[in-house]
Structures are given as C-alpha cells and as structure tokens.
Structure 1
Amino acid sequence: MDTPLIAVEGTYEEMGAEVGHRTADLVERSVETYLRRFRDKSGLSSADVLRWGQTFLDVARAYDPSIAAMLAGLAAGAGQPVEHIAALNARTELLDGTGYHDDGCTALAVLPKYTRDGHTLLAQNWDWHPEQGAVTFLLATRDPEGFAVLTLAEAGMLAKSGLNSAGLGVCANRLQSDRDQAGAGVPYHFLLRGVLQSDRMSRAHRKVLDVPRVSSGNLLIADAGGEAIDLEVAPGAFGALLPRDGLLTHANHFEAELPLEDMKAARSGLTLLRPERVRHLLEDAAAERAVGLEHVVAALRDHYSFPDGVCRHLDPDAGPAEECHTVYSVVMDLDARELAIAGAPPCARPYERWALEEVFKPDAAPELCFDPAADDGRRPPAW
C-alpha cells in the first residue's frame, strides 16, 4: 500500500493510545518538524509550545471530550508530552503570522442529482510541505457504539479530510484573515474532527459555527442525504456557500461577503482560479446528470498553469521553506462510504480505494483504481 492504514477500535482514549503506539516513530518526526517550524517561523520557545498546548488541551475538553481523550491516549501511546500532541493539532493557529503563504488545497462536491450513480461525491487535493507526506496516513476509528470515521491524518493529529459511518464527509481548505489571533479558541483541526464525530449535518454545523474560533478556515461538508454546504469561518464571523448547478468548489480565499480582510487571496497560488477551473472541467458532465468518479479524478489531475494548478507540483524557483505540492488526493463516495486516495503526484499514481466497512478487518487491503499506468489514453476507468 502506498498510503498506510491505521485502524483501531475501543474507547476514544484506548484508540488514541493504540494509534500513538503504532505510529510512535512518525509522531516523533512530526513533533520534531513542527517544533522547529514553531521556533523558526513563529518564534515560539519550548516553554511557549507547552503553554499553548495546555491551553488547547483545555479547549478540547470543553469542546468535545472524545477529542480530548484521544489526544491524551495518543500522547501516552507515543511517549510524548500531551501538550506537544495538542500543539500539533493546533499547528494552524501556532503557525499563523509566519509569512508562509503558498499552501493550497482544492475541494469539490457534486450533488447526487448530477451524478451518474445518484451518489454524493466529495473530493480534495491537499497541498502542503512535501516532507509531511511521509508522516501522513489514513486513520480509521470505531467506538463501542459502532460509530466509525475514516480520515487522512498527519502523525499525531486526529483529522483532515474524511468521512464517517453516518455518510457525512468534510474537506479542508486553509484560509487566513486579519481577524486571526492568538487565544483560547477551538483550533481548525479540532473543527474537522468535530465534524467527523457528528452523526448528522445539523450537529456538524453546530460543531463548526457555535464555538469560539481564533483562526480562519474553510470546511466543505456533504452527506449521503444529498446536500452540501461550504462554511467559511473566521474569529467572530462565518459565511456559507451553496452548490450551483449541482457543483460546489472551493480553494484558499474567502468568497462570502464577510467583514474581514483576506490575507491569502493575493498570494496563494492560483486560488482565485482553481475553484472555477474545477467547475469548468465538471460542468458538462453535471449538465448531463452524469458526473462519475472518473470525471472528479480527471479534474484533480488537471495541470492548467503548471506547476501551480489543481494538481500542484513543486516550483523549481521556490526556496526550501516555500516548497509546496499536492501531498495527497482524496475522493469520496458518501453513499457507498468509500474513500480513494493517491499520493504525490496524483496525476501519476493510482488511487487506493477503501470501503469503511472493510477497513477494520484483519486482512483489509485496498483496491487499486484510476491507475495511469493502465490507462490507454482514454478517461480513467470507473470504480
């Protein structure tokens, strides 16, 4: 498997401990990487990181006890200070103001009335530092009540883009505004896990909107019930976007009218065009009510304005600190509770498809699909 899978079951503390134990070496590398970034980019001392980690651990306890329990278990299992694990999950907040601006992400959803199979589709390319690919994996959790989550996760962290057994999924896009500040609000990656812990759309909204926030971010949420919504959030403000002609797309700038200054729109690579580029690539199939997963994959592999397109490649003119590419590409069928994932670069790698009901089996293995090496020049094979 190109993408490791860590599947655990039990209470949230037990699951965290098992994840920490099984990924201890990766967690150590991730902690070292982000402690260096916190120091070099944000000027945070070791004592500062421990203090902020404790602050965000207290936030987790108030926001969602299951998240706090997983953090504590993960730290114990990995042999790390719990404050460092909490700080990892607040890395967006601790890196704000560093001057790093060229991360990206392109996300999309297709409503079931516009898909060939009548299923809700959700997908994303995650663009970030190349070194994080080696410490990122698929995390599957199932609690004693049978509620399951399958999500991409950096080592030591609990969520990114993923889906759950209720048929609800989320994709993440980094945003930045002049409202972002230090403080004891709910970190962005806690919000992502909060959505994935939700058993219905209304609860997911409350986990994102009805909480204090100290940073900006975007969450594209969709479900097997056939709806999708994009939530742009910032400290003290939020906006919502709904699908047009069956499609909902987003990148790294604010699109809703909000009382803030967008700090990324002018700087983040091609963000102003990536959402419309994806829409252009999908709109004909959507008009025919025939969007298939092969159309979504083709859009995620698009190279318009190379190397800064939807499928992001390393820019040879960028310095080491500014290196950014598509680390992982994720495609989800929310009705089937299936997730397919491809590493860097997704234009040249097959996707590995996982069914949520299969990942907890001892002999679980993914099915390869959309393999460029097997393509004869026509569109990628459907699932």
Structure 2
Amino acid sequence: MTANVKESYDHIIVRGNPFTRGHSYGQQTKEKIVSNINYYKTSGVLPDWPQVCDYINNHYMKALEKHYPLGLNEMKGIAIGANVSLEEIVLLNARYEMLIWSRLLRRTNSKWPQECTGAVCLSKATKSGDILIGQNWDIHSRLMDNDIIVLLEVHPDPEENIAPYFMLTEAGQLGRSGMNANGLGIIAMGLFSSQDHFDESDKTGQYIPITLLRRIFIEAPTFAVALKRMTSLPRHVSCNMMVATAEGEAINIELTPHNCFISYPPLETDVYTHSNHFKSSAFMDNQSVKDSFKIGSTHFRDRQLERELMNRWPNIDDHSFIDSFKNHLGFPESLCLHIPDKGKEYTSTSPKECTVANIVYNLTTKTVRLCKGQPCLGNYRKYQFNYNVNKDNED
C-alpha cells in the first residue's frame, strides 16, 4: 500500500443494521483492511497464520456467537465488503491478544510496546464543567505512515436502540476508543499480567477479544449497563479501561482475566491518568496476580500527564487538555512519543513506535478532536455527529 500523506485520518460514516454497516465499512476501507491483514499475517510479528486461525476458531468464534452475535454479524459484513475471510477480520479485532501471545511464545523480555497514555477530567477540573477523556495512542508508526487508522462514525438501525457513536480504530476493527451520543466514553491502555494465558490444548476456553469489549461498552444504553456488560464477559488477557459519562463520573478499571481492580479520580481534583502499569490500591493489595510489564516510560508518562493537567487545573478546556499531552520528558520515549533520529535508535526501547494519534472526547458537547500523529506536531480536526444521511461524504 502506498503511504498516504494526508493531514488527517479518514472519517468513515456507516449506517444501518450490523451486517449492512459492516459491509459498508469493509467496502469503504478495503485497501486499508487488506494492507493491515497482510502485515499481521506475513511480517512475522504474530505466530504463523494457521496457528492463529486455529486459535480464532477454537477460542473466539463460539464466544462471539454466544455473547456478541451482533458484532460477529458486523464482522461478517466487513469481511464480505472487503473481500477477505471472517477469520482475518477477527484477527484484526484480536490483534491485541495475538501480539501478547507472540511475545509470550518468544519469551520476549525487552521490547514490550509503550502502548498509550490517557486521562479523564471531570467537572471540578474543567473551566466550563465539561467532562473530557482522551489519550495518546502509541504504536508502530506504520499505522500512521500507511494511513491504516480511521475515525469510524456509526449510526445503528433505530430498531437496535443503540445511540450513534464514534470510534478511533485500525481499519477492519470495531473500535479502540470511543464516545457515544449519550455521553459515554472509553479509552484503553495495554496491561500485561501473570494471568494472561494462551492454552492451545484447552479447546473449551471461549473469550471475547479486548477490542470488542470496548465496542460493547459504547453500545450500551447507560453507564451501569455498559460497566456490567464489559466486565462480565470472558477474557484471557489484561487491559486498562478508563471510562466516563457526561453525567459526571469516571472509573478506571485494571482488567485481568479474573479480576477488576477499580480506582477513581480523586474527589478533590477530578483528574485521573493512566499508562501501562498497574497502579490501583486494589491491585497493590492483592496477592493473586502480578504485573508483567517491564519498567520503562510507563512509570513516568502518567505522572507527567497528571502534572501537566494539574498545572492547568481548574481551568482545563479542550485545548489545554490537548496541550497536556505534548510533554517531552524522556524524549524521544516520552508521553508524546517520537521515533528517534537515524543513528540514535539507542535512545529508545521502541524505536519504531510513536504517537500515531491524539484523540480527545468532550462528553458534554459530544465533540471529538483528533490529531494525526504527535500532538506537538499534528493538525487537529473537530468532529460532531452527522445525523444528515445526505451529507455522509462531506468531510
């Protein structure tokens, strides 16, 4: 796929029932989807495709049929629209799990990904009382260089009783972070624990990929229902979910296969940040699971983001919230993550990774601000829900 030099990621609008909108999504992003699949199948970053395909069929398909048939139907639509197999679309939506599996198989000790850093600010912290949630998305630069990322805007069929929603994601995935029109928001940061497991010999284990848990949260009608649905489904890896509602609450959930470690923004500040290590008091007090992440920038990225936000407290708005993500302590492996200059790869433990996007959801105004690339360099675009079907192609 030829690299695209556009200043913003494609804004893809889909409407209708799960299969219909999936088919539209697949058609609109076919080239990106095929490129993404080919990378994961042929680059060597994952186990061999037959092994991955067997795992998908043995451990994900039945769980999706039982717990998330609407999502499975949407993925079937994507597959047909993009002219690829259903297993390949499930691969994209289980990419997070497959990369963890690959590292465990190889016993990789040093090159764990930096993943992401995120924050939420409730009304006490913001100038207008708005609820803000957002993150730097840190991953291999190819997603940005090859223009694989999309901002997906979904308008479900009215009979589904699901509010419209935005999700920032890799083409072919159902979602990574997002916001719905009812004011629910979710961001996520990678976590790695001693409970993460991939037992190929046990064909009975059935799981929902973490990426789909995020979509399931956003599709829920209320905050309470969203929390229950997301945390009760079977999973086999860990992840940090930071969730919030425009009604004025936020919760951070450090998920492992068997636990949910909960923390909240302090009542006196209404600010909370997180990166890629377990930090909740509940986790620190437990004896059943250990953090598997290697010490690195994760242990200062969240603190630097909190410092930046507190320097702007209590007058934080969308723009100063964005500015807080531009911190360069520890450059290039900083909160705002950069690829080191040629010849200086030794200055980073992940020299091919960078911040591929900064996204901010204002849950109060239902506004998305998205930057392609690092927030210190990128151009931001503002998005709101497009309820006019006749203007889907106007961006």
Aligned residue type for 1:280? R
Which residue does the alignment assign to 1:95? 99
2:275 to 245, 251, 257: 251
Contact 1:7–1:360 (Cα < 8 Å) also in 2: no
Give the secondary-structure state (helix, strand or coil) at the position aligned to 1:7: strand
Which residue does the alignment assign to 2:345? 317
Q: 1:49 and 2:60 equivalent? A: no
Contact 1:169–1:222 (Cα < 8 Å) also in 2: yes
d(CA) in 2 for partners of 1:159 and 1:280?
A: 29
The 5 Å alignment of 1:1-383 reads 2-37=8-43, 40-42=44-46, 44-54=47-57, 55-97=59-101, 98=103, 99=108, 100-133=111-144, 134-145=147-158, 147-182=163-198, 183-244=205-266, 245-256=269-280, 257=283, 258=286, 259-266=288-295, 269-286=296-313, 289-315=314-340, 316-317=344-345, 323-357=352-386, 362=391
CA deviation string 1:158-194 (max 9, x = no partner): 1011101111010010111111112522211011111
Give the secondary-structure state (helix, strand or coil) at the position aligned to 1:49: helix
Aligned residues: 359
d(CA) in 2 for partners of 1:337 and 1:142?
A: 15
| CA deviation after TM superposition for structure 1 residue 35, in Å | 1.2
Aligned residue type for 1:107? G
Deviates more, 1:356-365 or 1:275-284: 356-365
Contact 2:114–2:350 (Cα < 8 Å) also in 1: no
CA deviation string 1:48-71 (max 9, x = no partner): 222223232322222222211111
Give the secondary-structure state (helix, strand or coil) at the position aligned to 1:171: strand
| CA deviation after TM superposition for structure 1 residue 365, in Å | 5.4
- The 3 A distance-change label for structure 1 pair 108 and 359 is farther
Deviates more, 1:309-318 or 1:231-240: 309-318
CA deviation string 1:284-312 (max 9, x = no partner): 432xx321112211111111111111110
d(CA) in 2 for partners of 1:114 and 1:336?
A: 16
| CA deviation after TM superposition for structure 1 residue 119, in Å | 1.0
Contact 1:140–1:359 (Cα < 8 Å) also in 2: no
Give the secondary-structure state (helix, strand or coil) at the position aligned to 1:328: strand
d(CA) in 2 for partners of 1:206 and 1:77?
A: 32
**Which runs of 5 or more residues in structure 2 are unaligned?**
1-6, 199-204
Which residue does the alignment assign to 1:370? none
Contact 2:113–2:350 (Cα < 8 Å) also in 1: no
Percent of aligned pairs with the same residue? 25
| CA deviation after TM superposition for structure 1 residue 210, in Å | 1.0
Aligned residue type for 1:166? N
CA deviation string 1:207-248 (max 9, x = no partner): 221121100001100111110111110111120110021101
d(CA) in 1 for partners of 2:326 and 2:394?
A: 24
Contact 2:122–2:249 (Cα < 8 Å) also in 1: yes
- The 3 A distance-change label for structure 1 pair 322 and 180 is farther
Deviates more, 1:100-109 or 1:320-329: 320-329
Contact 2:339–2:351 (Cα < 8 Å) also in 1: no
Give the secondary-structure state (helix, strand or coil) at the position aligned to 1:109: strand
Give the secondary-structure state (helix, strand or coil) at the position aligned to 1:273: helix
Aligned residue type for 1:174? G
Contact 2:150–2:170 (Cα < 8 Å) also in 1: yes
d(CA) in 1 for partners of 2:292 and 2:388?
A: 40
RMSD between aligned residues: 2.0
Aligned residue type for 2:360? V
**Which runs of 5 or more residues in structure 1 are unaligned?**
367-383
- The 3 A distance-change label for structure 1 pair 51 and 347 is same
CA deviation string 1:240-283 (max 9, x = no partner): 110021101100001121431211141xx411111111111111
Contact 2:8–2:379 (Cα < 8 Å) also in 1: no
TM-score, normalised via structure 2 length: 0.86
Give the secondary-structure state (helix, strand or coil) at the position aligned to 1:96: helix
